[in-house]
Amino acid sequence: MDKANLPQPVVERRKRQTKIPQILAALCALAVLPILLHEYLFSLTTPRDIPVHAESALARCRALEDIPPAYNYRHRTESDRFDAEGAPTTLIINARILTGGENMTEVIQGDILLQNGLIKGIGQFSGAIDALKAEYGLDELVVVDANSSWVTPGIVDMHSHLGDFSSPTLNGAVDDNSHAGITLPWMRSVDGINTHDDSYVLSVSGGVTTSLILPGSGDAIGGQAFPIKLRKTKEKTTQSMLLEPPYDLNSSYTHAGEPLRWRYMKHACGENPANWYSGTRMDTAWAFRTIYNKAKQIKVQQDEYCEKVLNGRWVNEKFPEELQYEAIVDVLRGKVKVNAHCYEAVDLNMLIRLSHEFEFPIAAVHHAHEAFLVPDLLKSAYHAPPAVALFATNARYKREAYRGSEFAPRILAEHGLKVVMKSDHPVTNSRYLLYEAQQAYYYGLPANLALASVTTTPATVMGMDHRVGFIREGFDADLVIWDSHPLALGATPKQVFIDGQVQIVNPHVHTKPEVYQELPKVPSFDQEAKDAVKYDGLPPLKPPTTKDDEEFVMFTNVKSVYTGDATNGIQATFSSEEMGSVLVWNGAVVCMPHQLSCFTDMQYKSPKFVDLKGGSIAPGLTTFGSPLGLEEIQQEPSTSDGFVDDPLVGGVSPILGGADAMVAAVDGLQFATRDALLAYRAGVTSAIVAPLHKRFYGGLGTFFSTGSLHKLQRGAVIQDKTGVHISVRHFGKGPSVSTQISALRKLLLGGDKKGDAGRVFEDVVKGNRPLVVEAHSADIIATLVELKREVERESGNSMKLTITGAAEAHLLAKELGEAGVGVVVSPARPFPYVWEDRRILPGPPLTEESAITTLIKANVTVAIGIEENWSARNTRFDVAWASIESGGWMTRSQALAIASTNLHTLLGATHASAQYDLVAIEGGDLLDLESKVVGVMSSRRGVTHLF
């Protein structure tokens, strides 16, 4: 509808019309009699004047087709979010500014002036500070010397549940999914955004300044979403955190005449709404069509109404609308950015069909693990292709995520689709959203698009690119000063500004080597990316069969070699800028670089040559903490070993020995799961897994090779039984902590040691087998230390105790060191998921030390584990993070040990005949973002696998 051409309605008193002809007509058409009669009666009792609501109705009608304009805030002098107390005029000097301009390639060396919550200027001001003060009439100007650091726009997270799924998780603060129905466009996340989430401070310390807070994905339409800034406000309210909320936030309907602002709405397809409502994909689709049809009917009524009144034909009805549906009618009018959680081709297809049937645009599809397989489908969406908001490597946790690929971001970008990296906080910790972009870059997304994927692109997709996502004059003063190039692994803010306010009170920053200031050069994964598409997201991952001609492999241009064994830990065996070669036969190293005569002796062999291009050879890493090896898809019980029975919770079958049962994970091992094979290809050549258990009682762990195809292959099981695993946690409904401790005491000191469990715990008491206890709370850990002392007093032996999880262990670092208790910190970078792990030591920039360095410095043997079931493949980057966060204090060997030798010691995986598998890395060492794992050598298994 083109408003300009409409005749102006006449807003003046009109003559009362006679109803006689209508009555006559009605006599001829009895069917419409009741309506006309009503009209007639109405006309007798109500003066047919211009209705009192005429003006508002006209305004409503005139604004019907408006969408939020492309605001130009360049000439703002003060931010609507400006708080004079917290945001003094500040000059950041000597910055390397990635402005976001020129497709995120523009870099300006210079200064940034922040005033009134805005970026006032970018340029060279540092020579003229007095002049600046005079120009702006300032007594004081805060000057921050960035010392040539990189500065980027604040990070924008387009998919977060910060505040509506608060951390630590407590029943009282889970407000992201309503149970009121499957389509709830009237729900609003703003009504559930808790101001006390522990994550605000943590996420800001990772550089996140703006987040779009979406309702959950349990409902097909979960409700409206709201963008917030993450800083504390002096009002301490949810509303004061909102970024440009719609003006009608606190009234029922739009007030026409006020400038329009974008609205946001969550949609979800696939497994979540189907499960939440015990329905199917078909039910979800019908629920969408039902509500969109209703919205369309209202929209048509409005359009018809407006057509009349804008033409001066007044009708007595008010503007047709219903509060429940006003937001979804706005979707049909293009005033709402729809963000749809949709994974699979089938779901994306349904969503896009819906967009055509009801003619509404979709701003972004989220998760969208199969989007990379159907780029043309996305391009065919109504109005414009949606952006795609993804995780970097988090996949395979459920069926609809099974085909997810780390190459999706680059493939989608190659198709010209907008790529956004998102956290889904707290599903992944948004503090590390930039790490998602780093991984996307590692797997082939161009650097500029990777940086844009967490700044300019989400800001643009959200329609907020007039004020956030860029460092530009007139934009909000939201920016981050980084301690390295933002795409270098471990990049950490030195300082974060939101609305011109400093966010990190006392930042702890390590000075990093100069090389971290450069953009890392990442390896090529072109073939892998092609295969991901060719095989519909399931490229073959099995290690290649060793060919005869690969019996001898010569790795050349090797810069460093690390070796390791259980007794001596990890050692740097060779390191030279001159490079060397390593000769391998059937998985065993025959010649090391310095053994020159060895190579001469071997000259008659004709090896296969592999150029490592300045790379490295290092022991393979070990993963622990996830069900790797016991399940394929986390949310599909039919792919899992299942959970062991817990004698503390219910009866255990007598056939198992009742309460004396002791299950061993080795009996349930599954080989060649995709998570295991991906881990293998990323240098994680072995895993330790405990029997899956939901509560207290676990069983015996097992140590196996992630690259083996089945249990009967040579060397597939490295050590069948390792330590015994127990969890002591605040289970809520489960047995109390005191009950669990009592039970554990009984198991250790109970006297009768006859059954399976008895024998295993007798081993523990004798110090022959470690007791591995998952515990997070410092109070529980302290109790366990006491129990260890008690056992040792009674038995006279020294007992091996290892704590895993251990979020709060740093509070007892000294005591753990003295008691000889080891710790497997998992996850390696802490997060206050639940009450019992809320007292984390967050590490730089919030604290000088990380939990890992604190424990190591107290003489605790430390290893790292994972919690996320898909993340074994990222172990080398987890190790690298730990090492980087230590500020260079940990050596390379110490770092490698936390995911290998230390882990073996702590979990009782030491009597293995295990010579370690070795990993060949091209272009750098195992902990580098610049390198790529290209082979594994296993003398134990007699194989050399070249990928």
Residues numbered 865-894 forming contacts with ligand NAG, rule: CB under 6 A: 867-869
241 vs 449 by CB, closer to ligand NAG? 449
Q: Does position 815 bind ligand NAG by CB under 6 A?
A: no
Q: Which of 575, 586, 640, 847 binds ligand NAG (CB under 6 A)?
A: 640
| Token output for 771 | 């007791």
Q: Does 627 bind ligand NAG (CB under 6 A)?
A: yes
The interface with ligand NAG within residues 97-116 (CB under 6 A) comprises 103
Instruction: Give the range of 13-21, 241-249, 357-365, 550-558 binding ligand NAG by CB under 6 A.
Output: 241-249
Structure tokens at 622: 């070990």
Q: Which stretch binds ligand NAG (CB under 6 A): 243-251, 321-329, 456-464, 936-944?
A: 243-251
Closest to ligand NAG by CB, 267 or 693? 693
HEC assignment per residue over 329-383: HHHHCCCEEEEEEECCHHHHHHHHHHHHHHCCCCCEEEECCCHHHCHHHHHCCCC
Q: How far is the CB of 931 from ligand NAG (least distance, A)?
A: 23
Residue 820 as a binder of ligand NAG (CB under 6 A): the answer is: no
Give the one residue of 109, 147, 316, 736 binding ligand NAG; rule: CB under 6 A.
147
Rounded CA gap, 925 and 551, in Å?
A: 24
Residue from 71, 73, 247, 731 touching ligand NAG (CB under 6 A): that is: 247
- Whole-number Å distance between alpha carbons of 188 and 733: 31
Q: Which residues inside 479-498 make contact with ligand NAG, applying CB under 6 A?
A: 481, 494-495
With CB under 6 A as the contact rule, which of the stretches 70-78, 141-149, 166-174, 651-659 interacts with ligand NAG?
A: 141-149
> Is residue 146 close enough to count as binding ligand NAG by CB under 6 A?
yes
Q: How far apart are CB 308 and ligand NAG at their closest, in Å?
A: 32
382 binds ligand NAG (CB under 6 A): no
Stretch that binds ligand NAG, among 5-13, 201-209, 444-452, 921-929 (CB under 6 A): 444-452
Contact, 767 vs 806, CB < 8 A? no
- Between CA 611 and CA 554 the distance in angstroms is 8
Mind spelling out the 3-state secondary structure of 285-341? Answer: HHHHHHHHHHHHHHHHHHHHHHHHHCCCCCCCCCCCCCHHHHHHHHHHCCCEEEEEE
The structure tokens listed for 350 are 């349904």
What is the nearest approach in angstroms of ligand NAG to the Cβ of residue 867?
A: 4
921 binds ligand NAG (CB under 6 A): no
CA–CA distances in Å: residue 770 to residues 143, 273, 579, 823: 55, 44, 41, 12
Interaction with ligand NAG in 42-101: which residues (CB under 6 A)? none
Assess 519 for contact with ligand NAG (CB under 6 A).
no
Distances (CA, A) of 633 to 238, 368, 407: 38, 17, 20
Q: How far apart, in whole angstroms, are the C-alpha atoms of residue 724 and residue 718?
A: 17
Is the backbone peptide bond immediately before 539 cis, with ω within 30 degrees of 0? no
Amino acid at 429: N
The verdict on 692 binding ligand NAG (CB under 6 A) reads: yes
Q: What are phi and psi of 209, to 5 degrees?
A: -115, -30
Q: Considering only the stretches 124-132, 139-147, 373-381, 579-587, report the one whose residues sit in contact with ligand NAG under the rule CB under 6 A.
A: 139-147
Cβ-based burial of 792 (10 A; exposed 0-12, middle 13-18, buried ≥19): middle
CA distance 682 to 443: 12
Judged by CB under 6 A, how many residues of this single chain contact ligand NAG? 29
Of 782-811, binders to ligand NAG (CB under 6 A) are: none
> Is residue 237 within the footprint of ligand NAG (CB under 6 A)?
no
| Region from 118-126, 247-255, 306-314, 890-898 binding ligand NAG, contact rule CB under 6 A | 247-255
Of 8-16, 145-153, 485-493, 678-686, which segment contacts ligand NAG by CB under 6 A? 145-153
Cβ contacts of residue 137 below 8 Å, gap of 6+?
none
User: Measured from the CB atom, is 726 or 748 closer to ligand NAG?
Assistant: 726
Q: Determine, following the binding rule CB under 6 A, whether residue 250 of this chain makes contact with ligand NAG.
A: yes
- With a CB cutoff of 8 Å and minimum separation 6, the contacts of 394 are 401, 404, 427, 428, 868, 870, 871
Q: What is the DSSP string of 273-284?
A: HHHHTT--HHHH
If the CB atoms of residues 198 and 303 are measured against ligand NAG, the closer one turns out to be 198
Q: Which of 10, 84, 128, 249 binds ligand NAG (CB under 6 A)?
A: 249
Yes or no: say if 787 and 744 are a contact pair by the CB < 8 Å rule. Answer: yes
Which CB sits closer to ligand NAG, 445 or 652?
Answer: 445
- Does 503 bind ligand NAG (CB under 6 A)? Our answer is no
CA distance 748 to 771: 10
Q: Which residue has the tokens 């085909």?
A: 403
| From 347-355, 357-365, 441-449, 521-529, span contacting ligand NAG (CB under 6 A) | 441-449
Q: Is 428 one of the binding residues for ligand NAG (CB under 6 A)?
A: no
Does residue 517 interact with ligand NAG by CB under 6 A?
A: no
Q: How far apart are CA 476 and CA 862, in angstroms?
A: 43
Say how far apart CA 158 and CA 791 lie, in whole Å: 52
Q: Which is nearer to ligand NAG, 448 or 595 (CB)?
A: 448
- Partners of 528 in the beta sheet? none
| Residue 673 binding ligand NAG, by CB under 6 A | no
Stretch that binds ligand NAG, among 18-26, 71-79, 594-602, 862-870 (CB under 6 A): 862-870
**830 CB-near residues (< 8 Å, 6+ apart):** 807, 837, 840, 841, 842, 843, 851
Which residues of the chain form contacts with ligand NAG (CB under 6 A)? Answer: 103, 144-147, 149, 245, 247, 249-250, 446, 448-449, 481, 494-495, 509, 626-627, 631, 634, 640, 692, 817, 858-859, 867-869
